[in-house]
Structure 1
Amino acid sequence: MSESSTNQTGERGAQHPHAPHWFEFNQINDLPNDWSFEVLEWNNDPEADGVDDRGEAEVVRDDHRFVVTTWLQPRDRTHDRYWSVAYETVNQDGEPEPLSFHISKSQSIARNNLGHARDVIDSNETEPHVLVREHNDGPRETFEYPTEHMAEKAADLQIELKIDNDDRDYLVTVHSKAEWEHQLELERSLQTDTDRLRGEFDGEE
């Protein structure tokens, strides 16, 4: 287990305030590896107003970063705890931006999704893919993932979120990075030709 992992759960065990929710997630570091696990924040003050018992942790190795978030969703007379697993993608501006590829009420399923994604990265079986979110009345956003599977899962989740929210209006597609770069090159070439023809037409006038 990594030093960071031991500090989070091993040394203080159940006495650690984060242990009830994060201990099982931290088991992904039972065997020695280069991934670190750290709880970034936890808000569970029962006396505070508007607290949704939300926590966030990160799992990091080199340039790869996963963000795990958990929160309570109120229901009639009870609540559900949700888990989100996001990968820190590279967006259209070349900036890091976490985008979830899994959300569920099962901690074990969320942990398995994280573990599988991490194992694929460890095995170097990566092939960058781009999730494209094209808004009908706004900009086109892109998010680069290290694997097709992760990008496809994120796309499925984006579609589910769109179905559940009437105010979300966008088209989601997934492309290999090579395909997407080729598409961008074609668009730039077409725009150049269009601008040239427009200039020639304006000159004739």
Structure 2
Amino acid sequence: MGLEGIVTVEKIRAAINASLSGLSNSNATITITKNDGTTSTITINNVANATTATTATKLGSSTVGSGVRAIYLNAGTATASNSTVGDSTTPVYLKAGTITACDASIGSGWTVSEGSAGWARENSTGFTIQWWVGNTDATYRSINFPRSFSTLYYANVIATSNCETFVTSVSNTSISFTLCNGYNDDRWSGSQPCRLYACGLT
């Protein structure tokens, strides 16, 4: 930029500065006072006196829902669902517009029922492992699976080291077997600790 350009810019700045002698505001109005004594006002719409304006309501300014109640916007208002959904470790999702708890806890694709007669089920495929631990007291013995299979892949029962197990029938709901003395093949008719293992789809 040449010297003439710098001088021109300075002249424009001086003219702008000289044309305005004051700037003031009152509530929503800004007033510009020029050097010739005239004024111009600008009104900013929808702005109330900032010192007395009502504080806007914020999401989270009050307690909504709980650890097991989902919240949603109802006409712009944060609202708790009408019923308890899930728990502290189970996420929820919308199923055809209804807030629904997932089948399994966060971080796990398995649902497990613990105990001496229990099962562990992989939720996406239905693959299930089942077990049973206890005493059987009949000559012809039968154990009901803790939950029914839709497809059974494998099932077996074991007893103590001096007993032989012979499975006589198996279905999607139970397994039947006999026990024989491992030394002489005589039928074992007394109480005997047994363990069941089975796997399939449920």
TM range (shorter): under 0.3
Q: Which has the larger radius of gyration?
A: 2
- Structure that is richer in helix per residue: 1
- Structure that is richer in strand per residue: 2
Report the TM-score, using the length of structure 1 for normalisation: 0.24
